[in-house]
Each structure stands twice: as C-alpha cells, then as structure tokens.
Amino acid sequence: MDRVLGIDIGGTSIKVGLFTPEGELLEERKIPTPALTTDDAYAVVTSGITRILIAHDSTPADVIACGLDIPGPVAEDGTVGFLPNIELDPEGLVGAITATFPRATVAFVNDANAAALGEMWAGSARGVQSFVLIALGTGVGAGVVVGGRLIAGAFGAGGEVGHITVERDEPLTCGCGRHGCLEQYASAKGVVRLYLEECEHRGVKPVDVEHATDTLSVFQALSSGDECAAIAIDKMCDYLALAMSQISCIVDPGMYLIGGGVAGGFSTFAPKLRERFQELALSPCRDVKIEAAGLGNQAAMYGCAYEALRLRAEQQ
C-alpha cells in the first residue's frame, strides 16, 4: 500500500507525518535528532520513520513520496538556499532518504510555503485556487498560491511578505538588514515591542511579559481593557492591512489565511484587520476573504507531503 511522508525539520527534532496519498494522516510522531549533517544523524531519521511504517503494517518500499519543510528559501528548481537556524546538509539527508525509501520522490519546501500547500490540500483553502497564507510567528512569512500552484520565485523569496517595507522612517534595523519591514510590527516579537513601547511612552506599567514573543500576555491585556495593548494591536493591524493591500495589487488572491502563533488572537483583531484592509485596498480587491488558517502547526507537515506527491505526478 502506498504511503506518503511529510517531515517538518526543526533544530533539535523532526516531526513526521505518515499519510495516505489521499491526504489522510495516519500518525504524527516527533523524533529527536542531532544536527542533520552526518550518516549517524540521517540514520536516526530513517530508522525512526521505518518504525512508524512498521506500526502501520507498511515497509520502506511503500513510501512513494517524501516532503521536507525547512525554515529557509527553496527556489523553483528545488535548490535549498541559506539555512540560518538549523544545521542541515540537504544533499546528505536526501541521499539517505532515497537509499532507504527507493520509490520515494523527495521535495524540499519552505515552511511557510508548505503551510499554504497544507491548507490547500486539507485545510481552510481546500478548493481555493488563489490565496495567500500569512504566518505571523517569531517572524512573518507567507505562502502564495496562484492557479493552484505555489509561487516560490526564482530565488526562493516568493512569499517573503515579512520584508515588505511598510514604514520607511523606522530607525530600528530588521533582521534582514533593512528598516521598516512588516516583520518588525506584525510578528510576535513586533507586537510585544509595540506594546512595551506604548507603555513606556505613556509612563504606565505593562503587564508581565514572560519573553520577547509573549503575545498571549498582550492579548490577555487587551481583553482586560489595557489601552496600550489596544494601540499596539491596532498598529499591527494597520501595518498588516497595508502590506496585504499591496499584495492584492500584485496577486489579487481570493482569500487570505492568517496563521502562526499570533493568529491565536485572530478573533480579537480580525474585525480591525478587515476594516483597515477595506480602507486601504484597491476597490476590486476589497471583497477578499480574511480568515484564520485551519490546520495549525500541522499545516507545513501536510503541505510538504502534498508537494512531494505533486512533484511525483509531474515527473511521471
């Protein structure tokens, strides 16, 4: 029986999803791994996956497709760009996977792009041919789908909406080296920063914020009537709506999906975001749906499995 793998690669572990070709998730399992740069490390991955297969009466020969999502750019030809946050030798890992699963078509996908594909395959964008998933997490990324196909870009930077400039006069430097990127205001770190800055400006004591990306505390403060939290979230929505209005002029999607950790507060800020988008968007684009992503942190796992299946079909 044919099986499909979706592998979410992290810095100290991988998350493996075992799927049917129709998209049914049979099992999700986390496997702790060392840096994926040696034969011993690759063996940890392949042996762990083999154990999952055995538990489902399957063998390595049953795997027809294997997708891997990574936190870095992947170009149209599948070439992996720089990987600043994980230790990974892509060629070595692919070699180990193809040796263990000889029938498998292997595909690498950027994590935000994978999340978009997952939503298209089995989530909130099922049946939608044109949409943009914006992931608001530690950073801001996006997956852009047009005509049912992911737009990766010639250099793998398709969907890097977190680095759309929305405030040219911002003195602080973004992680990309530029200034005034959307990521500086709409990421988890950006929301917390806006909140703390507003508290300092007004000379009021902020709520306890446990860490630099603790948006939960900011949203809880908002629910308690904290004016500084309200201003911070309003600013986030302003900048995000501005970026989305520009994306719509280029892509004109039928739907925006908001995912990532910040999306935990989506029901709180969705009315403001929709209102600001209506005010800023080009008139033909104003009726776009703006909804929450549906698959949560499983979306990328689904999406890279889907991309491997698509690539297999394309090659046959």
Indicate yes or no: pTM above 0.75: yes
CATH code: domain of residue 257: 3.30.420.40
Do 187 and 311 lie in a common domain? Answer: no
pLDDT tens profile 187-244: 999 999 999 999 999 999 999 999 999 999 999 999 999 999 999 999 999 999 999 9
Evaluate whether residue 121 is within a structural domain: no
| Residue 70 pLDDT | 80
Collapsed DSSP state (helix, strand, coil) of residue 224: coil
Q: What angle do CA 48, 51, 107 make, to 5 degrees?
A: 55
Do 92 and 144 lie in a common domain? Answer: no
Do 69 and 159 lie in a common domain? Answer: no
Evaluate whether residue 10 is within a structural domain: yes
Quote the CA–CA distance of 91 and 127 in Å, as a whole number.
34
Do 80 and 154 lie in a common domain? Answer: no
On the question of pLDDT at 246 being above 60, the answer is yes
Q: How many domains are there within the chain?
A: 2
Do 266 and 305 lie in a common domain? Answer: no
Q: What angle do CA 101, 33, 183 make, to 5 degrees?
A: 105
Quote the CA–CA distance of 171 and 188 in Å, as a whole number.
19
Evaluate whether residue 122 is within a structural domain: no
* Tokens standing for residue 249: 């002029």
Evaluate whether residue 64 is within a structural domain: yes
Give kind and range of the element (H or E) at residue 50: helix 39-55
Do 73 and 19 lie in a common domain? Answer: yes
* Tokens standing for residue 195: 């909140």
pLDDT tens profile 260-304: 889 889 999 999 999 999 999 999 999 999 999 999 889 999 999
Do 85 and 60 lie in a common domain? Answer: yes
Provide the greatest CA pair distance for the chain: 65
Evaluate whether residue 192 is within a structural domain: yes
* Tokens standing for residue 51: 């154990």
**Average model confidence (pLDDT) across the chain:** 92
| Residue 75 pLDDT | 66
| Residue 152 pLDDT | 81
Q: Is 296 left (phi over 0), alpha (psi -120 to 50) or beta?
A: left
Do 88 and 160 lie in a common domain? Answer: no
pLDDT tens profile 70-123: 876 676 666 666 555 568 888 899 999 999 999 999 998 888 889 999 999 999
User: What average pLDDT does the segment 243-254 reach?
Assistant: 97
Evaluate whether residue 210 is within a structural domain: yes
Do 67 and 153 lie in a common domain? Answer: no
Angstrom CA distances, 14 to 28, 197, 236, stand at 10, 36, 32
Evaluate whether residue 86 is within a structural domain: yes
Do 132 and 208 lie in a common domain? Answer: yes
φ, ψ dihedrals at 300, nearest 5° = -65, -35
Q: Which domain holds residue 259?
A: 127-294
Q: pLDDT > 90: what percent of the chain?
A: 77
Do 176 and 39 lie in a common domain? Answer: no
Do 303 and 290 lie in a common domain? Answer: no
